[in-house]
Structure 1
Amino acid sequence: MDPREFRNTLGHFATGVTVITATSDKGEQIGLTANAFSSVSLEPPLVLVCIDKKSSSLQTLKKDIPFAINILQKEQEEDCWRFAKRADDKFAGASYTVSEDGVPLLNGNLATIECNVAEVIEGGDHYIVTGHVKNAAYDDSAEPLLFFRGKIEQIMEAEMA
């Protein structure tokens, strides 16, 4: 299978956009954009996120380390791109608070899920990080930021005739 063709095919599945945040054992705040996110289980509450093996942030996510999944809403496109790029301080200019566990939580999210790393599993060129959910919150009034065919999509509201 041609990798580019496979990637293009997968791009036809619209996904939400998340920013994974954590704090390293050295106190450094880390954040990275990811759209490979899913729920795993309701009992116990588990989620997963897939992170490229080349990610410099990956070394922070070890068993029992707290992290957060910030599910972005359509007004957070700037955060999507801020955390997708390599930078010395990705949090410069970002609006966030810090959780009781010391994890940065972006403000204005569609939803926020706070977890502890349950397992890190090898999966091809990515690692699958499962998280045991400790806390979750959402905003019913916001609309999701979506990724489709390799770009951000805006949800178009149907006009009433």
Structure 2
Amino acid sequence: MDPREFRNALGYFSTGVTVITGKVDDKLIGLTANAFSSLSLDPPLILVCIDKKASSMAAFNKQSPFAVNILQEGQEDECWRFAKRAEDKYEGASYTFSKDGVPILNDNLATLECTVEEVLEGGDHYIVTGRVQSASRNEQLKPLLFFGGKTGHLAE
């Protein structure tokens, strides 16, 4: 299987966009992820797939808190800011802190506050499962979508 063709084909599955946020010691981490899914309603579990080479993997230890920021159409800057390698991805970002000290982006479509349940091997990625501790959403907003390597919006 040609890896580039495989990647291109997967790019034609439209998804929402998330930014996964957390911290390692006092350092804030964040990464854009579209490999995200609900996993279980009882108990409430989600999963996100993270590249094994990602420096932010150090934040995902058993029971470590993290947040899934589900982006809305006005958050394209956040999508691309957290997709790049940078020393301080939070520079210019608008966020607050959860009670656990995890950064939460402002104005999300939805936010899930989680703790790490398990980290599993998955080829060149880790599959991080998270137990959802709290969830919130804004029904007035519309999702940011990802398709074919580009962000987009729902048509009216």
- Fold shared by both chains (TM-score > 0.5): yes
Identity rate, percent: 66
**Is 1:14 equivalent to 2:14 in the alignment?**
yes
Q: SS of the counterpart of 2:6?
A: helix
Which residue matches 1:30? 29
Q: SS of the counterpart of 2:81?
A: helix
- In 1, the alpha carbon distance for the partners of 2:85 and 2:5 equals 26
Which residue matches 1:70? 69
Q: SS of the counterpart of 2:74?
A: helix
Q: Which runs of 5+ in 2 are unaligned?
A: none
Which residue matches 1:135? 134
CA displacement at 1:60 relative to structure 2: 1.3
TM-score, normalised to structure 2, is 0.98
Q: SS of the counterpart of 1:13?
A: coil
Which has the higher mean CA deviation after the structures are superposed, 147-156 or 32-41? Answer: 147-156
Which residue matches 2:104? 105
Q: SS of the counterpart of 1:75?
A: coil
The C-alpha deviation readout for 1:17-55, integer Å capped at 9, x for no partner, is: 00000011x211100000000000000000000000110
- In 1, the alpha carbon distance for the partners of 2:146 and 2:85 equals 20
CA displacement at 1:15 relative to structure 2: 0.3
- In 1, the alpha carbon distance for the partners of 2:94 and 2:14 equals 26
Q: Which runs of 5+ in 1 are unaligned?
A: none
CA displacement at 1:156 relative to structure 2: 2.0
> Which contiguous aligned blocks of 4+ residues in structure 1 show a shift greater than 3 angstroms?
none
The C-alpha deviation readout for 1:104-145, integer Å capped at 9, x for no partner, is: 000000000000000000100000000000000000010000
Which residue matches 2:148? 149
CA displacement at 1:59 relative to structure 2: 1.3
- In 2, the alpha carbon distance for the partners of 1:59 and 1:95 equals 23
| 1:42-81 correspondence to structure 2 within 5 Å | 42-81=41-80
